Structure 1
Amino acid sequence: MENFQHFLQNWPADRRSRGTAAATSDKVCAVLEKDVLQPADFLTLLSPAAQPHLEAMARKARELTLRYFGRAVNIFTPLYISDVCTNQCRYCGFNAKNKQPRRHLSVDEACAEARAIADMGFQHILLLTGDAPKLSSPLYIASVVRRIKPLFASIGIEVYSLTQAEYALLLEAGVDSMTMFQETYNPELYAWLHPVGPKHDYAFRLNAPERAAAAGMRSLGLGALLGLESFEQDAFATGLHAWWLQRNFPGVDVSVSIPRICPHEGDFDVQHAVDDRHLVQYVTAMRCFLPRAGITCSSRESAFMRNHLVPIGVTRVSAGVSTAVGGRATEDKHNPGQFEISDRRSLAEMTAALAGIGYQAVLKDWEDPAA
């Protein structure tokens, strides 16, 4: 099977630029009349020509979301178990050059944090680490997963890129989903943004979701960090990646995250900031292109923005979020976290907010058949 890296070469940056430049208002309207969209149609919906049609795009996106997801919104929370990192990503608070307190939880400490989260009512949890494979090894992550698995219906990981055998190890331990942000799909920009550390390997990261799928992972999440590259370039590549995964791994659930770059420890000049209208355009275009794909919106976005994105496409949100290691049940040593969060609502507050706009919070939508 041709991997996604090779497939993406069919859509080089200049082809994407020509596609958005050639889009017209009439083409946008024609795309919105289609039942099944192709990649070129998705590119049209991401173009400047689609901006005057956001209301029509939102209406179609809302209809598709209700058709395929109803009024259910899944809620999860992250658990950072280590922020020790060997990378020097220019935009990230975990950058190894940033002089800040670091922490790596023992398995017992991670279990204590997980119990505190479970006591809040969460059933879906996402484990995160920095990229320090010798310390936060797959065996360490698997040990944490085995200890906390009885507490949750679903455990996902958002860690560094792994081999297929390492994903299989974590699957056996109890992980059922993985999230991998490519950050940017521009290989030259990617190399500049990740000058030092194992994350420098663009191709190994790009092909991680398909290795996870081949290992048997039931759910894949992916995304670009919006603001690193121009909107149309990375927005299109992200949707194309999800589309390719759906076609090549039809039994796997594929979802897309929509993070915009946030302030963090360190200094990074955002060259391609994505405004609210473009974020709405992205969500609605993605829903029209991939009607069955989940769309995740994290606490990077404000409560106001997340409340308004749910009806037009977002199907998964976080709550009760901390991006620091520890702090719920163990001392956090004033760890500043990976990035600043905007929406600090608790699980109860998020549940109530969703009910207030006519949606139901779903805490458990997956049961491990082996449990």
Structure 2
Amino acid sequence: MFSDIFHTHDWDAVRESIYSKTSHDVERALQRTQRTLEDFKALIAPAALPYLETMARKSQALTRQRFGKTIQLYVPLYLSNVCQNICTYCAFSMDNLIPRKTLTDAEILEEVAVLKAMGYEHVLLVTGEASQQVGVAYLQNAIRLIKPYFANISLEVQPLQEAEYALLIKEGLHTVLVYQETYRAANYKQYHPKGRKSNFEYRLATPDRLGKAGIHKIGLGTLIGLEDWRTDACFTALHLQYLEQTYWQTRYSISFPRLRPIAQAEGSKSFAHFMEDAELVQLICAYRLFRDDLEIAMSTREQETFRDHAVQLGITSMSAGSKTNPGGYAVAPQSLEQFEISDERSPAVIADMIRAQGYEPVWKDWDQTLL
């Protein structure tokens, strides 16, 4: 289990190791073709910032070599904003007094009709973490409902048991995204004071349960802004390295959700660990240089200009036309969003932007298109 490895690493020691890296360490990492976790530390260190142009060129070349000049398009479909957790950064938090909504079968199909009209084949189902209202039975039913309409179904919900994941995989589930939010165990509970999500260890073990269940792809990431992003990124890379070695038949993706302002949360625009755009570029490139076959996703949390430039940096997929509220596409467009969207352009406009840069937007999963 990853927890056995995780507990041999001290947060402060890892952080010090990253921030003590020198330009010599960065240059050595850049010269290598097979990079270690120590090389990754160097590439995310402050010492690597002067090397961004070199990192970007190498990242672009590796991405094109492995994935071609393609960007996969996906869309989130929020099924419910009911949540049994208190999370200090999320609009769906149980203590946030907002109208709650869970889509019915008919409403799900209304949303699906809109997404299909946009051209989507890859959908990400999202809910709050509420095992009673949107438990396994609800998710199983939702997957059955939408399976005839999409080539690829992903899930971002509460952590489940291994047998529950196996059940959903049989129904057609392809990918599960599970973000640890932060690997700083000592501070984890201050962001998640109540609910099942407050159990750090259970969440940490979720990718292991997914791997054992035989999931096709696991998505990892942390919520950038909670803690020092460099240290969290290093622990994510450590987790990725373990998973690749243990569940080698599974594919992996990484995302970089930066904290965004949320509705009805005072002070939500002030985050303790702000990340500059140049630092996000650094992180994207560092992950690509660390793992050339890693899928890297970017959501509509990011600004238009940044996403336009990111197409050639090393990302492999992006969302477009996203709504982060249940029923946001057709049923209840005025319901509260989980976070503010920065890039509100339509999927068609995003596809045109991708083509204008000499890349091809891919609407289906690579597994389907490359067979």
- Give the TM-score, by structure 2 length: 0.96
Query: Would you say the 8 A contact 2:74–2:123 is kept in 1?
Result: yes
SS of the aligned residue for 2:312 comes to helix
- Provide the C-alpha distance between the structure 1 equivalents of 2:338 and 2:119, rounded to a whole number of angstroms: 24
Task: Report how far residue 259 of structure 1 moved.
Answer: 1.0
- Provide the C-alpha distance between the structure 1 equivalents of 2:330 and 2:140, rounded to a whole number of angstroms: 21
Task: Report how far residue 67 of structure 1 moved.
Answer: 1.0
Residues 5-29 of structure 1 deviation map (CA, whole Å, 9 limit, x = unaligned): 2212233213312322331111100
Residue identity matched to 1:340: E
Residue equivalent to 1:290: 291
The reply on whether 1:152 has 2:174 as its aligned counterpart is: no
Task: Report how far residue 366 of structure 1 moved.
Answer: 5.1
Query: Would you say the 8 A contact 1:84–1:102 is kept in 2?
Result: yes
Residues 189-204 of structure 1: matches in 2 within 5 Å? 189-204=187-202
SS of the aligned residue for 1:196 comes to coil
SS of the aligned residue for 2:80 comes to coil
The reply on whether 1:327 has 2:328 as its aligned counterpart is: yes
- Provide the C-alpha distance between the structure 2 equivalents of 1:214 and 1:297, rounded to a whole number of angstroms: 27
Count, aligned residues? 365
User: Which of 98, 101, 104 is residue 106 of structure 1 equivalent to?
Assistant: 104
Query: Would you say the 8 A contact 2:18–2:231 is kept in 1?
Result: no
Query: Would you say the 8 A contact 1:243–1:290 is kept in 2?
Result: no
Query: Would you say the 8 A contact 1:75–1:362 is kept in 2?
Result: yes
- Provide the C-alpha distance between the structure 2 equivalents of 1:250 and 1:309, rounded to a whole number of angstroms: 28
List gaps (5 residues or longer) in structure 1.
none
Residue identity matched to 2:66: Y
The reply on whether 1:207 has 2:205 as its aligned counterpart is: yes
Residues 314-358 of structure 1 deviation map (CA, whole Å, 9 limit, x = unaligned): 1010011000110323234x2121000101121111110000111
Query: Would you say the 8 A contact 2:84–2:130 is kept in 1?
Result: yes
Residue identity matched to 2:354: L
Residue identity matched to 2:310: L
- Provide the C-alpha distance between the structure 2 equivalents of 1:125 and 1:91, rounded to a whole number of angstroms: 25
- Provide the C-alpha distance between the structure 2 equivalents of 1:323 and 1:217, rounded to a whole number of angstroms: 25
- Provide the C-alpha distance between the structure 1 equivalents of 2:39 and 2:45, rounded to a whole number of angstroms: 10
Task: Report how far residue 111 of structure 1 moved.
Answer: 2.1
Residues 207-258 of structure 1 deviation map (CA, whole Å, 9 limit, x = unaligned): 1122112111101101001010012111111222222211211111100001
Range that drifts further, 352-361 or 115-124: 115-124
Residue equivalent to 2:22: 24
The reply on whether 1:121 has 2:122 as its aligned counterpart is: no
Residue equivalent to 2:168: 170
Residues 262-316 of structure 1 deviation map (CA, whole Å, 9 limit, x = unaligned): 0002134410011111111110111111111000110000121111112111101
Residue equivalent to 2:340: 340
Task: Report how far residue 76 of structure 1 moved.
Answer: 0.2
Residue equivalent to 1:180: 178
Identity over aligned residues, as a percent? Answer: 38
Residue identity matched to 2:205: N
Residue identity matched to 1:108: A
Residue equivalent to 2:350: 350
Task: Report how far residue 107 of structure 1 moved.
Answer: 2.1
- Give the TM-score, by structure 1 length: 0.96
The CA RMSD measured in Å over matched residues stands at 1.3
